[in-house]
Amino acid sequence: MPSVRVLVVEDNEPFRRFICSTLENRRDLQIVGIASDGLAAVQKAGEVRPDLVLLDVGLPALSGIEAARRILKLSPQSKIIFLTQESSPDVAQEAFNLGAKGYVVKIHAGSELLPAVEAVCGGGQFVSKGLSALGSSDVADEPRSGRPSRTQVLPSNGPRTKVPGHAVQFYADDASLIIGFVRFIEAALESGNAVIVVATESHRQALLQRLQADGVDIAAATEQRCYIPLDASEMASAFMVDDVPDPVRFQKGVRDLFAAAATGPNGDHRCVATCGEAAPQLWAEGKGKAAVQIEHLWDALSRACNVDTLCGYVVNGYQRKHENHIYERICAEHSHVYVQ
């Protein structure tokens, strides 16, 4: 079988590496070009005439939508799959109207990228479940209006039981974070789930004391690997390269962690929940962009693996005043936002 020649267009370097590493696992896919902005993508497409273009919507210099129009004029045989954070049905409809064959929302790229490539290369179309969740599974056939937000700001008391999806709670202080995490952990254990806790050493000790005071048999839960405490800094360092999260290391390490937690002592399957502060610790260290990238990667993988997550941030005054853009980007990576 001849290789499918692929042009990858993505301005975010870590995510671009993730795309390339995913494609390189397939012998029938050949990356023939890489571009990081819309104008460079058009130029490269004219030079290499790719079979397939993986294209972001939000690109520097020239938007992905306009780049796609120009690429299809230069190389009509090229098939285009949009791979983007943009989950608006209107934008997806515009993409299909101009001739795109696939649309993948980035939060689902871990599970949808290769199926989308297979569907489009096989002559079909592909629509991300990220759009189906917004009520737009038929976006390629019928235009939709409105742009519902994926993020909901919910009451300050936070999640009391099972958190649906990838939630974030912003706490006023450490004591409030401990209370919130304890409530989440106890609900997960009572439901028969395994719970992974990624926290600082001081918070792990505080959680242990509070759980034991509440009568939770932590020794038994730990022995049965229902309760899995991990150090936040150590976990983050396992997939950070030059202060930037490496998507390949992240995918491998966290996916293996989820798989191990989902396997019970007798080999039976169980659901997994996580609560943690790896990304919050990075933001507290002044690495806000890295925190956002980790939240983005975690969101995609936790959804693909059906893992419930609660992220806990204790946000100081400086962060609230001077880094509101980081706060907003973190909120955008979560399905539910709780503010104290």
**What was the pLDDT predicted at 132?**
41
**Token pair of 17 as six digits:** 């590496």
Least Cα distance to 84 among 60, 109, 57 occurs for 57
The CA distance from 284 to 269, in Å, is 36
Q: What topology is assigned to 4-132 in CATH?
A: Rossmann fold (3.40.50)
CATH superfamily of 152-339: P-loop containing nucleotide triphosphate hydrolases (3.40.50.300)
Report d(CA 101, CA 123) in Å as an integer: 9
Calculate mean pLDDT across residues 12-21: 87
Where in the chain are all domains bearing CATH 3.40.50.2300? 4-132
- Listed in order, the ranges of the chain carrying CATH 3.40.50.300 are 152-339
Alpha helices in the chain (DSSP H): 13-24, 38-48, 64-74, 89-98, 109-121, 129-132, 174-190, 201-213, 218-223, 232-238, 247-262, 278-284, 288-304, 317-322, 324-332
Looking at the predicted structure, is the pLDDT value of residue 134 above 70?
no
Q: What is the pTM of this model?
A: 0.55
In this predicted model, what pLDDT tens digit does every residue of 279-337 receive, in sequence order? Answer: 999 998 889 999 999 999 998 888 888 899 999 999 876 676 678 788 888 888 887 77
Pick 162 or 69 by higher pLDDT.
Answer: 69
Residue 320 is predicted with a pLDDT of: 64
Task: From 118, 84, 99, 108, select the one nearest 16 (Cα to Cα).
Answer: 84
Q: What pLDDT shows up at residue 264?
A: 83
Both tokens of residue 334? 């979560």
Q: How far apart, in whole angstroms, are the C-alpha atoms of residue 249 and residue 198?
A: 17
